[in-house]
């Protein structure tokens, strides 16, 4: 919890356990109480790669959905794409591809809507200095009930797209090695078309809210948790944004290409993962640049920066407007992630409309096979960023190796940088204030990190903050309670529930 060496002391923001909704921030101060270093610890998918070993490969697209309650479809599709190659399906049928794409756009729609409503909009609508007692999903529901109701129904709509394409809202089985196990019937298509225009309108409104907020507050947001970085994502062969399939492109902070159109089967030649002793989560980097300079951002803002255009008109117009902030160059404003996310929400709605009018969805040619392989990589752009699934399978059809680089891991270094920047700007003195906590949370939330891979059983607190002096004495401790209240935990004799005196 605390270390005191080289005249420095550590402040630890730590979880009670490694469970869902928990992060840990360690702030290392120098003797003058200035931030020397900060570290963000987030739950890694610990043990999953081992868990999947020995399982038949065809089970994997279903099994991996257990990784995450928010974006199981991303894992489902990334694994299915890898297993396509294992069964020799170099090209799946048009129906299979479009059903999968529809599933993926449905997931983007629900995931981005959920993030906007649940995590982002309280910060945007109330301001991130606002009291956390109102700066939350319940506060939004009370003050902006129409927006909140829209968000719930957008999330529900995306879930319905997933249910229809994957068979179920959770634990879907739609994508199988070599294709899909069902198409979309006319009745199912018409069911989704019924509310589509409403969803498009609401998506347009969400883009406007995020855009207006960012532009109006740009003076403050430009520096908030921001820094220049490389960006990485899949792009289509013609440079278009493509969240389901493409090749890897990496650019630097100025927009110069580091590499482009790299076949992701060869990702190990371009991306490496650094292990640091203080974190369960690895730190990926671009090999050619090394760990110091090769880290990169993924996710909505990175995708908007790396792509040349978006192939749906309204989202592309919004992309151009966002990039006008930086004169057409990559945007490195961390808080612009929210605007970029809403642009992708609109893009997803536009693509859902396009696909629902495509008769290939009703095709009956669902699965192909070919020459069996023993090793393959599957990759998609998940809502939170690029997702790598890499497997080896033996002659008995058992998985013998799995390596996953998930979106939140790809954003590990950037999230650390964002926290560091915020701590430098907002930490003063020897106490962690509720205000600092709020700002750290806002910076982390911009990346929408997914902590859902772990558990969330009853009885835990989302965030605990400890301040320890150079002698190892606990001098101040705060926790964010599961009901949003601040718990003062400084009394060694017991926990005192109540408001902070910050």
Partner 1 sequence: MNPQRRILVIGYGNPGRHDDGLGPALAAAAEKLAVPGLTVESDYQLCVEHAEMAARHDVVIFADASLTGPEPFFFEPLQPAGASTFSSHALGPGEVLALAAGLFGASPTAYLLGIRGYCFDQFGQGLSPRARFNLAFAVDFLENLLKNDSWSPRNLPLRPAASTASVCEELPCSKVSP
257 close to 270: Cβ distance less than 8 angstroms? no
Task: Answer yes or no whether residue 387 interacts with partner 1 by CB under 8 A.
Answer: no
Between 46 and 372, name the residue whose CB sits nearer to partner 1: 46
> Of 15-23, 212-220, 272-280, 356-364, which part binds partner 1 (CB under 8 A)?
15-23
**Applying CB under 8 A, which of residues 2, 53, 127, 159 lies at the interface with partner 1?**
159
Transcribe 283-333 into DSSP letters. Answer: EEEETTTHHHH--EE-SHHHHHHH-SB-SSHHHHHHHHHHHGGGTTSPP--
The answer to whether 448 and 119 have CB atoms below 8 angstroms apart is yes
Q: Which stretch binds partner 1 (CB under 8 A): 155-163, 187-195, 269-277, 494-502?
A: 155-163
**463 in contact with partner 1 (CB under 8 A):** yes
Check residue 455 for interaction with partner 1 (CB under 8 A).
yes
Applying CB under 8 A, does 163 fall inside the site for partner 1? Answer: no
Kindly tell me which of 47 and 492 has the beta carbon lying closer to partner 1: 47
Q: Residue 41: CB partners within 8 Å, gap ≥ 6?
A: 14, 23, 24, 25, 26, 278, 279, 280, 281
**For partner 1, which stretch binds (CB under 8 A), given 87-95, 231-239, 253-261, 438-446?**
438-446
Interface with partner 1 (CB under 8 A), residue from 115, 189, 341, 477: 115
Residue 463 Cβ vs partner 1, minimum distance, rounded to whole Å: 5
Give which of 348, 395, 341 is closest to 372, Cα–Cα.
Answer: 395
Q: Are 483 and 470 in contact (CB under 8 A)?
A: no
* Identity of the residue, 223 or 484, whose beta carbon is nearer to partner 1 in the bound complex: 484
Q: Which is nearer to partner 1, 113 or 343 (CB)?
A: 113
411-443 residues labelled b (16+ CB within 10 A) or e (exposed): bbbbbbbbbbbbbeebbeeebbbbebbbbbbbb
Phi, psi of 346 (to 5 degrees): -65, -40
Integer angstrom CA distances of residue 437 from 7, 423, 427, 474, 483 = 25, 9, 10, 18, 16
Round to the nearest angstrom and report the end-to-end CA distance of the chain.
22
Return the range that interacts with partner 1 (CB under 8 A); candidates 87-95, 218-226, 268-276, 441-449: 441-449
Size of the site for partner 1 (CB under 8 A): 69
Q: Which of 379, 419, 454, 488 binds partner 1 (CB under 8 A)?
A: 454
Binding to partner 1 by residue 139, rule CB under 8 A?
yes
According to the binding rule CB under 8 A, does residue 445 interact with partner 1? yes
Selected from 444, 465, 478, 488, the binder of partner 1 by CB under 8 A is 444
> Is residue 238 a contact residue for partner 1 (CB under 8 A)?
no
Candidate residues 313, 459, 493, 494; the one interacting with partner 1 per rule CB under 8 A: 459
Cβ neighbour number for residue 59 with a 10 Å cutoff: 14
Question: Which residues make Cβ contacts (< 8 Å) with residue 244, sequence separation at least 6?
Answer: 77, 100, 101, 104, 380, 381
Give me the helix-helix angle, 145-166 and 196-216, nearest 10°.
Answer: 130
Choose which of 9, 27, 72, 213 interacts with partner 1 (CB under 8 A): 72
Segment interacting with partner 1 (CB under 8 A) among 148-156, 181-189, 200-208, 248-256: 148-156
Q: What is the dihedral of CA 285, 286, 287, 292, to 10 degrees?
A: -60
E strands present in 9-159? 9-14, 23-29, 35-42
Q: Which of 132, 177, 300, 414 binds partner 1 (CB under 8 A)?
A: 132
- Min. distance of Cβ 42 from partner 1 in angstroms? 8
118 binds partner 1 (CB under 8 A): yes
Residue from 146, 225, 269 nearest 415 by CA: 225
Site membership for partner 1, residue 67 (CB under 8 A)? yes
CB of 141 to partner 1, least distance (A): 4
| Torsions phi, psi for 295 (to 5 deg) | -70, 160
CB of 295 closer than 8 Å to CB of 406: no
Binding status of residue 451 toward partner 1 by CB under 8 A: yes
205: contact with partner 1 by CB under 8 A: no
Closer by beta carbon to partner 1, 258 or else 454: 454
Contact flag: residue 450 with partner 1 (CB under 8 A):
yes
Which of 48, 270 has the CB closer to partner 1? 48
Q: From residue 395, give the alpha-carbon distance in Å to each of 50, 62, 389, 392.
A: 19, 21, 20, 10
Closest distance to partner 1 from the beta carbon of 151 (Å): 7
Contact residues toward partner 1 (CB under 8 A) are: 16-23, 45-48, 50-51, 63, 66-70, 72, 114-115, 117-119, 122, 132-133, 136-139, 141-142, 145, 148-149, 151-153, 155-156, 159, 169-170, 441, 444-445, 448-452, 454-460, 462-463, 480-485
């Amino acid at each position: 919890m605390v270390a005191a060496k080289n005249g420095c002391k550590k402040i630890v923001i730590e979880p009670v356990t490694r469970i869902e909704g928990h992060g840990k921030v360690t702030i290392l101060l120098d003797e003058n109480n200035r931030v020397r270093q900060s570290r963000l610890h987030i739950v890694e998918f610990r043990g999953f790669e081992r868990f999947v070993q020995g399982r038949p490969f065809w089970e994997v697209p279903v099994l991996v959905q257990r990784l995450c309650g928010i974006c199981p479809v991303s894992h489902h599709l990334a694994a299915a794409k890898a297993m396509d190659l294992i069964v020799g399906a170099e090209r799946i049928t048009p129906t299979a591809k479009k059903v999968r794409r529809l599933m993926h756009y449905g997931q983007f729609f629900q995931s981005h809507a959920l993030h906007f409503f649940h995590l982002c909009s309280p910060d945007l609508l109330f301001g991130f200095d606002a009291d956390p007692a109102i700066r939350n999903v319940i506060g939004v529901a009370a003050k902006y009930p129409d927006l909140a109701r829209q968000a719930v129904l957008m999330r529900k709509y995306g879930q319905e797209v997933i249910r229809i394409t994957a068979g179920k809202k959770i634990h879907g089985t739609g994508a199988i090695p070599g294709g899909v196990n069902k198409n979309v019937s006319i009745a199912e298509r018409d069911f989704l078309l019924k509310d589509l225009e409403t969803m498009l309108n609401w998506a347009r409104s969400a883009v406007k809210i995020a855009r207006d907020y960012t532009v109006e507050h740009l003076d403050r947001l430009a520096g908030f948790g921001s820094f220049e970085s490389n960006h990485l994502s899949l792009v289509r062969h013609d440079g278009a944004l493509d969240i389901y399939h493409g090749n890897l492109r990496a650019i630097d902070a100025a927009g110069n290409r580091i590499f482009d159109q790299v076949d992701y089967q060869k990702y190990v030649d371009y991306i490496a993962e650094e292990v640091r002793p203080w974190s369960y989560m690895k730190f990926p980097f671009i090999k050619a640049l090394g760990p110091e300079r090769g880290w990169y951002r993924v996710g909505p803002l990175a995708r908007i920066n790396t792509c040349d255009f978006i192939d749906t008109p309204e989202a592309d117009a919004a992309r151009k407007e966002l990039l006008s902030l930086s004169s057409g160059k990559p945007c490195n404003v961390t808080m612009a992630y929210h605007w970029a996310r809403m642009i992708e929400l609109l893009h997803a709605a536009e693509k859902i409309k396009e696909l629902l009018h495509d008769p290939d969805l009703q095709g009956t040619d669902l699965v192909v096979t070919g020459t069996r392989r023993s090793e393959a990589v599957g990759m998609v752009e998940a809502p939170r960023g690029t997702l790598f699934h890499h497997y080896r399978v033996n002659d008995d059809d058992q998985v013998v190796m799995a390596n996953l680089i998930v979106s939140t891991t790809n954003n590990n270094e950037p999230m650390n940088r964002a926290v560091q920047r915020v701590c430098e700007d907002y930490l003063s003195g020897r106490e962690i204030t509720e205000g600092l906590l709020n700002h750290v949370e806002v910076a982390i939330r911009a990346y929408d990190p997914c902590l859902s891979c772990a558990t969330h059983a009853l009885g835990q607190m989302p965030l605990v903050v400890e301040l320890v002096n150079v002698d190892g004495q606990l001098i101040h401790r705060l926790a964010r309670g599961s009901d949003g209240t601040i718990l003062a935990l400084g009394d060694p004799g017991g926990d005192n529930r109540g408001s902070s005196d910050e």
